[in-house]
Amino acid sequence: MNSAPAETGPEAIQAKPKMAARGVNVFYGDNHAIKDIDLDLYADKVTSLIGPSGCGKSTFLRCLNRMNDTIPICHVTGEILLEDENIYTSGIDVVQLRARVGMVFQKPNPFPKSIYDNVAYGPRIHGLAAHRTDLDEIVTTSLEKAGLWQEVKDRLDSSGTALSGGQQQRLCIARAIAVNPEVILMDEPCSALDPIATAKIEALIDELSGRYAIIIVTHSMQQAARISRKTAFFHLGEMVEYGDTTEIFTSPKEDRTRDYITGRIG
Amino acid sequence: MTNFTIFIVIAVMAMISFALVRQKSVAIVGGATQQLHSLPRYHGYYAAVRVFAPCLFLFLLWIIGGETVIENLVVAGLPDSVKNVSGDQISLILNRIQLAVQHGEASTTDANILAAADKYSSLYNKGLWATFSLTLAVGLLGYYLSNSRTHADYRARNSFEKTISVALAASSFLAVVVTLGIVASLIFESLRFFQQVPIQDFLFGLHWSPQTALRADQVASVGAFGSIPLFAGTFLISTLAMLVAGPIGLFAAIYLTQYANRTVRAVAKPVLEILAGVPTVVYGFFAALTVAPMLRDAGGAIGVDVASESALAAGLVMGVMIIPFVSSLSDDAITAVPSSLKDGSFALGATKAETITQVLLPAALPGVVGAFLLAISRAIGETMIVVMAAGMRPNLTANPLEAVTTVTVQIVALLTGDQEFDSPKTLSAFALGLALFVITLLLNVAALRMVRKYREAYD
Ligand SMILES: Nc1ncnc2c1ncn2[C@@H]1O[C@H](COP(=O)(O)OP(=O)(O)OP(=O)(O)O)[C@@H](O)[C@H]1O
Ligand SMILES: [Mg+2]
């Protein structure tokens, strides 16, 4: 099994991973959902997680900001490092961790509040803005970065749930950006969207990739090929192969990877 | 021959028709039931309906109208000297006739009455037999029709479906009619009350003492019917109850939905709901015998004068009584908030408390408000606890340590004991009932709207 990160090639040597998984196992009760995964995630490279349904992509992603903590039967072993610090040690402030590692969900989930309050939610609870003007500033720039500002600038007071699905998803991205995270996790962010909205989100990911480490789960191999520099293929809870996206899609080392990308494992 | 026999005969006829017609439908196709349009049992059901429905209609007609018709006939046959009296006395005479029917000569010696009683009995017997023969005929006709119409393509299934929908519609119609009837009688009697007491006196008067003269020659006050003290009492006690039930119920709901682990929830939730099943009279004596004396002693210890029957005691206990209302409805409202919103908040680095106060509760707010409004209308309508713990004395006060009374308690007081039915005192109960009905109706409408609004928000 080629579970070690691709450390060959010139670009792998220069950068230190932003996040890294070391021997991670996840159990839901007796169900061994993730098996002994090692993976390095780089700040400057969008990473795609692909694999058939139920292989543990979401489960792994949710380990990275400890969202699995909200599931009582979920149990994680191994280490996950965020800049050399294990986020699963007992002293860690989970709330602070999640402010550093943001998340965008499969189904857009704006709060039933105004667009403004949706974006201001994070900054308010973390006390990022001392004055109303600072908050306005954060909301504006977050919406701008999420490519939503032009569409909503005249109706910041209307409800976030009244936006279209694609707009809602960008609102959720703006909401995540507003707390100024270092890493953004995205779990199939486009699966509920039409092709045009998907294209907008993809363009947005591309643009954000310079500022944030982005890890995205996707079922679309075209999407993974379009937007990510690194791709990890999961199968039945194992990470089968991890490497540069171009290599994974053109010359996979593992048979299972090849079978999957040619459509033989579904 | 009795009514019961008639009913049994109808039921048996229906069952026999079911069996026979079902068999016939099978026989028609020689056992190959797949050739029938409808399954054999539908042929049977529909035949049973054809027999049962018209017979039941006749039977009900007899039950509801028969007696009145016979009474009228009997009265018409009385000698003029007996029957030319006022309406009230006619009903007295009818009572005596009924007694004579039951007890024969032991009840009266009046020959006229005895003769009438005889006539009554014989008419009643004839009526019974007439009903019996008529239902028998109609039932047989129904069976004959079903039987002769049974053929392979007969759409018994569809016809039966139609009768089902008619029966269901009739049930809901009945419920609506009964409700409308109650409201109509409230309005009608209230109007009679307002003919005797001006409506503005009732709505804005500050004094309630409905003692009217028992006899016309008595020198007594006409009574005062200002309902404000009663509504003030209701309002005071309901407010106290909500001060208890609102926070405790809501916090319990939050704890049970967000913090309690599965075992605690599995135990605490049913126990909380048992509270709703305790009869209010039990709460009532708990309030009167335990809480009220405790409050009085506690008041005495710190030098505050607490009446032995106080609004506070009633309000506190009533609050406990409606905790399960608030908590279980709020629980539903909170659980209805999609967990994706919670996840979204957690993913932004919010703590549990922040998530609850800033995402969960605002999202559940319409439902929670609905829960509160329903709980308030429950508190307003509650009677037993107040009778036992808050007293019966109309008292316009905002001091919860004094005895007060409420609208419902006064209605009870007005209608218990011997009353002249059209005195203002009795009629005022209807006016109070109407006012109370309007208030709770408005609250319920508001509550239902709120609840519906939050349902729509996530669909
Ligand atoms: N909340 C949960 N409770 C119990 N088991 C779970 C839970 N979530 C996931 N699992 C199990 O963990 C395994 C991996 O699930 P996961 O959701 O991570 O798959 P996935 O790769 O994201 O699939 P998909 O592509 O369909 O989203 C599955 O066997 C699933 O049944
Ligand atoms: Mg998933």
Please report whether residue B181 resides in a domain.
Answer: no
Same domain for B365 and B447, yes or no, is yes
Same domain for B410 and B288, yes or no, is yes
Same domain for B151 and B247, yes or no, is no
Q: Contact, B119 vs B70, CB < 8 A?
A: no
Nearest to A186 by CA among A92, A78, A57: A57
B346 vs A97: CA distance, rounded Å: 11
Check residue B453 and give its pLDDT: 72
Please report whether residue B231 resides in a domain.
Answer: yes
CA of A58 to the centre of ligand 1 (A): 7
B239 vs B400: CA distance, rounded Å: 10
Which of B338, B343, B348 comes nearest A102 by C-beta? B348
Task: Check B347 against A126: CB less than 8 A apart.
Answer: no
- The CATH number of residue B411's host domain is 1.10.3720.10
Above 60 in pLDDT, residue B298?
Answer: yes
Same domain for B43 and B122, yes or no, is yes
Same domain for B245 and B368, yes or no, is yes
Same domain for B327 and B434, yes or no, is yes
Same domain for B258 and B403, yes or no, is yes
Q: Contact, B208 vs B394, CB < 8 A?
A: yes
Three-state SS for B27-95 is HHCCCCHHHCCCCHHHHHHHHHHHHHHHHHHHHHHHHHHHHHHHHHHHHHHCCHHHHCCCHHHHHHHHH
pTM, two decimal places: 0.76
Ligand 1 surroundings by CB, under 6 angstroms? A 28, 31, 33, 51, 53-59, 71
Confidence of residue B36 (pLDDT cuts 50, 70, 90): confident
Tokens of B36: 């029938």
A47 vs A125: CA distance, rounded Å: 29
B322 touches chain A (CB under 8 A): no
* Chain A positions in Cβ-Cβ contact with residue B348 (cut-off 8 Å): 98-99, 102, 121-122, 125, 175-176, 179
Same domain for B234 and B329, yes or no, is yes
What does B237-272 look like in DSSP terms, one character per residue? HHHHHHHHHHHHHHHHHHIIIII--HHHHHHHHHHH
Domain count, chain B: 2
Collapse the DSSP code of A28 into the 3-class scheme (helix H, G, I; strand E, B; otherwise coil) and give the result. Answer: strand
Above 90 in pLDDT, residue A179?
Answer: yes
Please report whether residue B197 resides in a domain.
Answer: no
Please report whether residue B185 resides in a domain.
Answer: no
| Domain span holding position B153 | 3-163
Please report whether residue B171 resides in a domain.
Answer: no
More confident residue, B441 or B273: B441
Nearest to A211 by CA among A84, A64, A86, A44: A44
Instruction: Indicate the angle between helix axes B292-301 and B311-336, nearest 10 degrees.
Output: 110
Task: Check B345 against A111: CB less than 8 A apart.
Answer: yes
Above 50 in pLDDT, residue A2?
Answer: no
CA distances to A252, B18, B27, B47, B136 from B24, in Å = 74, 10, 5, 11, 21
Same domain for B227 and B154, yes or no, is no
Q: Contact, B66 vs B125, CB < 8 A?
A: no
Confidence of residue B351 (pLDDT cuts 50, 70, 90): very high
Tokens 């569809």, located at residue: B158
Which of A67, A112, A122 comes nearest B457 by C-beta? A112
Q: Which of B257, B343, B348 to mutate to test the interface with A (most CBs of A within 10 A)?
A: B348
Task: Check A98 against B346: CB less than 8 A apart.
Answer: yes
Tokens of B86: 């006022």
A183 touches chain B (CB under 8 A): no
B263 touches chain A (CB under 8 A): no
Please report whether residue B183 resides in a domain.
Answer: no
Q: Contact, A83 vs A40, CB < 8 A?
A: no
Task: Check A105 against B457: CB less than 8 A apart.
Answer: no
Contacts of B254 (CB under 8 A, 6+ apart): B330, B334, B356, B361
B124 touches chain A (CB under 8 A): no
Final residue of a domain: which of B163, B181, B197? B163
Domain A43-62+94-261 has CATH 3.40.50.720: no
* Chain A positions in Cβ-Cβ contact with residue B354 (cut-off 8 Å): 125
Same domain for B157 and B230, yes or no, is no
Domain boundaries, chain A: 43-62+94-261
Instruction: Indicate the angle between helix axes B228-254 and B424-458, nearest 10 degrees.
Output: 30
B240 vs B206: CA distance, rounded Å: 22
* Chain A positions in Cβ-Cβ contact with residue B266 (cut-off 8 Å): none
**ipTM confidence score:** 0.89
Burial of B97 (0-12, 13-18, 19+ CB in 10 A): buried
Above 60 in pLDDT, residue A190?
Answer: yes
Check residue A145 and give its pLDDT: 86
Measured in whole angstroms, the distance separating CA A266 from the mean position of its chain's CA atoms is: 23
Same domain for B97 and B235, yes or no, is no
What's at B194, amino acid-wise? Answer: F
b/e sequence A227-245, b meaning 16+ C-beta within 10 Å? bbbbbbbbbebbbbbbbbb
What does B381-434 look like in DSSP terms, one character per residue? H--HHHHHHT-S-------TTS----HHHHHHHHHSS---TTSHHHHHHHHHHH
Above 50 in pLDDT, residue A21?
Answer: yes
Which of B342, B351, B363 comes nearest A112 by C-beta? B363
Please report whether residue B37 resides in a domain.
Answer: yes
CA of A187 to the centre of ligand 2 (A): 7
Q: Contact, A18 vs A213, CB < 8 A?
A: yes
CA of A25 to the centre of ligand 1 (A): 14
Final residue of a domain: which of B163, B178, B194? B163
Q: In chain A, pLDDT over 90 holds for what percent of residues? A: 64
A114 touches chain B (CB under 8 A): no
